[in-house]
Structure 1
Amino acid sequence: MIVAIDGPAATGKSTSAKKVARELGFIHLDTGAMYRCVTLAVLRNQITLDNESALSQLLDGLDIRLKKLDDELVVYLNGEDVSDEIRKAEVTSYVSIVSALSQVRNALVRIQRNIAKNQDCVVEGRDIGTIVFPDAKFKFFLVADDFVRAQRRQLDLIAIGEEKSIAVLVEEIRQRDFLDSKRSNSPLCKADDAIEIDTSKMTFDEQVAFMVNRVKK
């Protein structure tokens, strides 16, 4: 069974998906972390996005692994723990551009489908219910007020030693929403059969309980 959780940045997808998966006894597949890994690799190797040959070679050589250690998702890129680095501002500001590339999306979608094959998974991202797993049994689409999302993002940055003002973060979030929703390949959008959840005024436990109860019903 696939449970798809989609939505824009900082609506609570990753934290909710992790807890929902634990409550259901499912595997948690964080597709956003996978796109961040590719973005980090592109930045490290200084690859220009119009260089399809170099990008193809990079994708062929990437080993992205997601492992659960002490109840935390640890992200490995070619054997290196990059869990914190992929959340830094430089990667965040570039990930929408990299993830919009058909070459990147096609490669990662194949990996994601292979991981979830014959397994019960909670999968979160931006196009899970529309493109990656359109036949998912349960689909949720999380939204939240821009200011609330900026506050959440600010806390994430503080946790890894970075700081930005709420005003700057609101602008960055709106820009990312625009890029994600307007890209030609797999744009951010709500599946027709997805249940929308506004997490602005919900506690973390409330939003998790809502999804878990719908799946168990």
Structure 2
Amino acid sequence: MGYNVAIDGPAGAGKSTIAKLVAQKKGYIYVDTGAMYRGLAIHFLDQGIQANETEKVILACQDAEVTIQYENGVQQVYLNGRNITSRLRDEEVGNMASVTSAIPQVRSKLLELQQNLARTQNVIMDGRDIGTCVLPNADVKVFLTASVQTRAKRRYDELCEKGIACDLKEIEADIEQRDHRDMTREIAPLKQAEDAVLVDSSRMTIEEVVDAIVKLCE
């Protein structure tokens, strides 16, 4: 049996960054579930499908294969054999993934692969419903969050560093809307598992958050 760590939390909480660093320290396999959903979202966008066209999304799942590989220690995501890593953080991809991830057929497409891996390997996964749905029996569960203002500022700084024009208030509004959508969706809504440890990173450094989670794994 593998040792499983589940990290859940809202958009912009730093789940992926933290999970990758914990994986490096502990020697776990990092399974980027968000990247897998975003990979499917790119497939839907490339097919010209709108987020509200549920039937088309379901049909498109049939000819989509999303895989994760590590090349020189760096995660690469492939869609039907094509490297799409550079597109994963696009805003339209994130919004499409947030909407389509609530469709049962989209979730079942990825769930079996994730659970099979967790049964045989030491893994750490991050997402919206890892501790509640994907890995309900995980050895360690963490709910990682931060204030809307903190998360928006982090995203704003990230975009500015890339030279992308953006508005802080618009980012805050987008995050609030995404939080509401994720928490109120009918299928696997975002919520803290009863046995998860709450970690609020609003006033913590990345190193402090990583150390706190590593200690939970000991």
Aligned-pair CA distance for 1:65: 1.4
Tell me the residue number matched to 2:175.
173
Paired positions, count: 215
Task: State the AA in 2 paired with 1:116.
Answer: A
Structure 1 contact 150–173 (Cα < 8 Å) conserved: yes
> Which whole-Å CA distance do the structure 2 matches of 1:168 and 1:57 have between them?
33
What is the SS of the residue equivalent to 2:166? coil
Q: 2:151 aligns with which of 149, 157, 160?
A: 149
Structure 1 contact 11–149 (Cα < 8 Å) conserved: yes
1:107-146 mapped onto 2 (5 Å cutoff)? 107-146=109-148
Does 2:18 correspond to 1:22? Answer: no
Task: State the AA in 1 paired with 2:150.
Answer: V
Q: 2:98 aligns with which of 92, 96, 99?
A: 96
> Which whole-Å CA distance do the structure 1 matches of 2:122 and 2:180 have between them?
32
- Unmatched tracts of structure 1, length 5 or more: none
> Which whole-Å CA distance do the structure 1 matches of 2:70 and 2:210 have between them?
19
Tell me the residue number matched to 2:205.
203
Tell me the residue number matched to 2:82.
80
Q: Deviations over 1:39-83 (max 9, x none)?
A: 11111102354452x434422222211122333221111122211
Tell me the residue number matched to 1:58.
60
Task: State the AA in 1 paired with 2:171.
Answer: L
Q: In structure 2, do the counterparts of structure 1 residues 156 and 95 end up closer, same or farther at CA, with 3 Å as the change threshold?
A: farther
Task: State the AA in 1 paired with 2:20.
Answer: K
CA RMSD of aligned residues (A): 1.6
> Which whole-Å CA distance do the structure 2 matches of 1:113 and 1:141 have between them?
20
Task: State the AA in 2 paired with 1:106.
Answer: S
> Which whole-Å CA distance do the structure 2 matches of 1:105 and 1:152 have between them?
28
> Which whole-Å CA distance do the structure 2 matches of 1:60 and 1:157 have between them?
34
Does 2:178 correspond to 1:163? Answer: no
Task: State the AA in 2 paired with 1:59.
Answer: C
What is the SS of the residue equivalent to 2:213? helix
What is the SS of the residue equivalent to 2:194? coil
Structure 1 contact 37–77 (Cα < 8 Å) conserved: yes
Task: State the AA in 1 paired with 2:151.
Answer: R
What is the SS of the residue equivalent to 2:164? coil
Aligned-pair CA distance for 1:166: 1.1
> Which whole-Å CA distance do the structure 2 matches of 1:161 and 1:81 have between them?
23
Work out the percentage of aligned pairs sharing the same amino acid: 39
Aligned-pair CA distance for 1:145: 1.1
Provide TM-score, normalisation by structure 1: 0.93
Q: In structure 2, do the counterparts of structure 1 residues 132 and 15 end up closer, same or farther at CA, with 3 Å as the change threshold?
A: same
Provide TM-score, normalisation by structure 2: 0.93
